[in-house]
Structure 1
């Protein structure tokens, strides 16, 4: 991976190269495919450019808060490393690397700042605590290798193999990685995540090879869909009679059989689900007939792949996990009076390659559940025919929606990203309006195609 950076990467120091060569690398990105599909965007203008090799660039130097996130919210002990080149550094701004991002405003950050300063920071709902600081030449147009390690409550950072310092913090026990700028612009490349627990060694001209500890188990993120969703309903291969909830642990591959039926087809939330997925379970290649009760329940992280709902009753699927990422990949749904996907827990729901027709909302973060959470959704490469809304989120709880490649048929009046204030159970969340590019609703008009 670092070889793609050419001589610029090698000039930074052999330590970073050797560490990554023999460590347990669980994630890497060098952007040579020309896309940021594996990342979710929050603010700014992010594009892949050529800077010797391919790199991702945030070019809007006036943007207050620009972020790209990747990885798994369940990651705990790891080192994230990246090459970072500030292109501009505005007053009060920075270009930085993030670890353990549990939300868009809570994480650990190693920041290159104006005035030749590097800071190691804990950011809690936007409030910054400086854990360590170092005087360091910070020049625009120069590549730096930033390394940020989270090991228990100890957070440490280095620039070009030289320690910035460390500190103790309980802001976040787990979370994704991120790239960030504020009132600045910059390029980022050769991002890697090492799941070992060893703090990066000090600079040495002759690095010593050591055995890597067993990596922390991670959940592999499915790749983004590339082909457009199909609007052609699949032909069933058989029928399965359902008399009660089917509990799934591991993987249930239905082979495109039609599972039917349960419940009364109403909007009652007291109905049992047809499928109940345990944490880490996968449901795939299933046609769900009508009535389908309360659809699919994900008790933890789950993957729903190539599942088709003939008629959505209450909800097609409800996500209940209190952490981590869940995925809807391919498939489709018809006739949802209200929501297709309901998000009651926390974490992030990723929806890609999906087709839906005659629906209320594709996704809604619960606005009046018993427990309030910060929730996130990414929607990419979907076709929606006659929807009323694409997504609905609660901005007072820090929700975000990242949208790309959205095709709307008969959607001239569709609300793309509806913003609400979440409320206590028993009340109705007030609708505030539609957002775009405001840090909560992260998309631009070019991400939406009308047909």
Structure 2
């Protein structure tokens, strides 16, 4: 009979701590830990775990184990534990069953969201200790070693203050300093790989992370993806008031304006293109190449399909007088960050910002009135991606939704300083199940603080 412990949460008993205080000076070098969580999956269920992508099941693998079998999944994760956990060590046995050149199988700590956490990952040819911030990866330490499919490896990931360290089979992978996340849940993950996980244990650790022996990294932490830098200059990013700007002139538009680099419209009114309908076959008024910036523009009506971002882009202090189909559509599929800074939009019967590609869209200092949704991650596009949005310092008047995301694809929304006016019954963060093109996404309900919809009630102000 299997006697290993099941899931447990052990309170740290205050009386015991107090009784030990008198001896603390003598035994100050001894580390004490309490088991916060354990799961060996022998009961065959996934109670206490929450899925984000992938195909997960408890299977028989000698003993029972948690298995992710879809090696085509871009991001498959299971999360457990408490969002308030800070300093701890999480360990697990991990067995990759499929690990191609772009794959990984790993262990997560301080998962603040589904794309922000610390990760210890088995990758082809080695093991990496990583800080992952909204999908952007920084390598904190790594070792080269053979990683074979069908072999169990014991991973151990320790987070203590800003020090992050990891070990595989008792040998150090390295350590580094990071402030990506100060607290969060644990998790297991695969990306373009399949793997089994077993004997997951979380132990509380107070004080510095334990020192381990073994190889140390030979180079400084190196970002593996370079996101578009956050723009820091220009107008339109202050707290929105609802006032509308006046144009300084007019520009007649007869076809799509393609922007490579930067276009500063000087607050002129650009008009007109399209028929003002909801048809998605209309041409955009502006098409922004990867890395392009559009700023200080008033877009008149009809505006066709608004602005198309073909990759990473910045839309700064741009105002839509009357949104036809969408104000802007983000189409880039190479990841990275796009920014909407300042500006505003009126009369969007459906969406203001449509996210069809992947990466993260950041919306700040924006005003919108008489709209359906401020942001929607596409729920039935031809290609399915994990998408992320941050919304900060916005003013919405007569809005039906703030954001809509697809939880089955790992989408996240982070909301702060959202002010809502005259919007009774508004959906702040609507969660959907994304579906194949031609079908309609299923509305699951509104989320808050669940790893997909990341905000609290204090982040939303109703007036």
- The TM-score bracket by the shorter chain reads 0.5 to 0.7
Partner of 1:222: 231
**Residue aligning to 1:302:** 313
Q: TM-score, normalised by structure 1?
A: 0.60
Give, in angstroms, the shift of residue 107 of structure 1: 7.5
Structure 2 vs 1, CA of residues 434 and 109 (structure 1 numbering), >3 Å: closer, same or farther?
Answer: same
Report which stretch shifted further, 236-245 or 409-418.
409-418
Residue 406 (structure 2) pairs with residue 394 (structure 1): yes
Compute the displacement of 1:430 (Å).
1.4
**Counterparts in 2 of 1:414 and 1:107: CA distance versus 1, 3 Å:** closer
Is 1:109 matched up with 2:126?
no
- Distance across 1 between alignment mates of 2:384 and 2:231: 28
Residue 230 of structure 1 and its aligned partner are, at CA, apart by 3.1
Q: Which residue of 2 aligns with 1:414?
A: 426
Q: What does residue 9 of structure 1 align with?
A: none
3-state DSSP of counterpart to 2:458: helix
Partners of 1:185 and 1:361 in 2: CA distance = 44
Contact 2:226 2:336 survives alignment (8 Å): no
> How far did 1:229 drift?
1.3
Separation in structure 1 between the aligned mates of residue 349 and residue 304 of structure 2, nearest angstrom: 14
Aligned match of 2:341: 329
- CA spacing shift, 1:146–1:396, aligned 2, 3 Å: closer
Measure, in 2, the Cα distance between the counterparts of 1:187 and 1:308. 51
Equivalent position of 1:159 in the other structure: 175
Residue 338 of structure 1: SS of its match in structure 2? strand
| Structure 2 counterpart SS, 1:396 | helix
Aligned residues: 317
5+ unaligned residues in a row in structure 2: which ranges?
1-78, 93-106, 122-126, 136-150, 167-171, 178-188, 193-201, 209-215
Instruction: Provide the rounded CA distance (Å) in 1 between the counterparts of 2:456 and 2:408.
Output: 22
Q: 2:276 aligns with which of 231, 244, 265?
A: 265
Q: Counterpart of 1:287 in 2: which secondary structure?
A: strand
Match of 1:433 in 2: 445
1:33-70 deviation per Cα after TM superposition (whole angstroms, max 9, x unaligned): xxxxxxxxxxxxxxxxxxxxxxxxxxxxx982649xxx
Relative to 1, partners in 2 of residues 1:417 and 1:130: Cα closer, same or farther, differing over 3 Å? Answer: farther
- For residues 339 and 441 of structure 2, the distance between their equivalents in structure 1, rounded to whole angstroms, comes to 26
Quick one: distance in 1 between partners of 2:203 and 2:367?
Answer: 38
**Rounded Cα–Cα distance in structure 1 between residues aligned with 2:262 and 2:306:** 17
Aligned pair in 2 of structure 1 residues 160, 216: CA closer, same or farther (>3 Å)? Answer: closer
Question: Over aligned residues, Cα RMSD in angstroms?
Answer: 4.4
- After TM superposition, the score normalised by the length of structure 2 is 0.59
> 2:164 is matched with which residue?
146
Q: Distance in 2 between matches of 1:272 and 1:86?
A: 49
Distance 1:170 1:307 in 2: 39
**Partner Cα separation in structure 2 for residue 170 and residue 91 of structure 1:** 16
Distance in 2 of aligned mates of 1:294 and 1:265: 9
Question: If you compute each CA radius of gyration, which structure gives the higher value, 1 or 2?
Answer: 2
Name the CA shift for 1:143/1:268 in 2 (closer, same or farther; >3 Å): closer
Is the 8 Å Cα contact of residues 427 and 446 (structure 2) preserved in structure 1? Answer: yes
Matches within 5 A, 1:14-413: 64=81, 66=83, 87=87, 96=109, 104=114, 109-110=119-120, 120=129, 133=155, 145-146=163-164, 157-159=173-175, 171=191, 200-201=217-218, 219-222=228-231, 227-322=238-333, 323-413=335-425
Give 1:337 deviation, angstroms.
0.3
